Amino acid sequence: MISVPSTVLVIDSHPLMREALCFAIADEPHWKAGMQADNVSQALKLAAVVIPDIILLALNHSDQNDMKDLATLRKSLPATPILALTSDETTGQERAALEHGAQAVVKKSAPRSELLNALNRLKLDQPAWHLSN
């Protein structure tokens, strides 16, 4: 049986981080991270053409716009799971991300294996949770 790779839409304002995340994901045969956006507006335009299986949104340090972005994504793509990447420096960001629409949260300092584990759990439709080092 041939399995079609799941598509991940990576949203990060930093081009280098976006590309690194895409490489980390695309290295797995059952994942495809070909969709990239530097903001939610651009991501929604891409998702209007091809709906991703999962959205990976990198959050900034303590920007309230991140929570608005999560809420916008949740409202616009209610059936698409969202994985939020958070910085270690921001207290409460993990909980806020889950409250604003993310189904899972992984810290940016986590190893690649935790990112892939989170994607796999979301693909299997697991409930909201977070990973921390």
Q: Cα(132)–Cα(94) distance, rounded to whole angstroms? A: 9
In a domain, 111, yes or no: yes
pLDDT of residue 133: 42
Residue 62 reports pLDDT greater than 90:
no
pLDDT of residue 1: 41
Residue 40, both tokens: 């939610």
Which strands sit side by side in the sheet containing 129-131, from one edge to the other? 31-37, 6-11, 54-58, 82-86, 104-107, 129-131
Residue numbers of the domain that contains 121: 6-131
Q: Say if CB 90 and CB 109 are below 8 A apart.
A: no
Calculate the average pLDDT of the chain: 85
pLDDT of residue 63: 66
Q: Which residue has the tokens 């891409």?
A: 46
Q: Which residue has the tokens 């209610």?
A: 78
Q: How many domains does the chain have?
A: 1
| CATH code: domain of residue 51 | 3.40.50.2300
Q: pLDDT tens across 72-94, in order?
A: 999 999 999 999 998 766 678 88
In a domain, 1, yes or no: no
What is the rounded average pLDDT of the residues 113-127?
84
Residue 114 φ then ψ, to 5°: -70, -35
Pairing state of beta strands 82-86 and 104-107?
parallel
**Total-model pTM:** 0.88
Q: Cα(91)–Cα(78) distance, rounded to whole angstroms? A: 27
Residue 101, both tokens: 């629409």
pLDDT band for position 32 (cuts 50, 70, 90): confident
Q: What percent of the chain has pLDDT over 70?
A: 86
Q: Say if CB 84 and CB 64 are below 8 A apart.
A: no
pLDDT of residue 108: 87
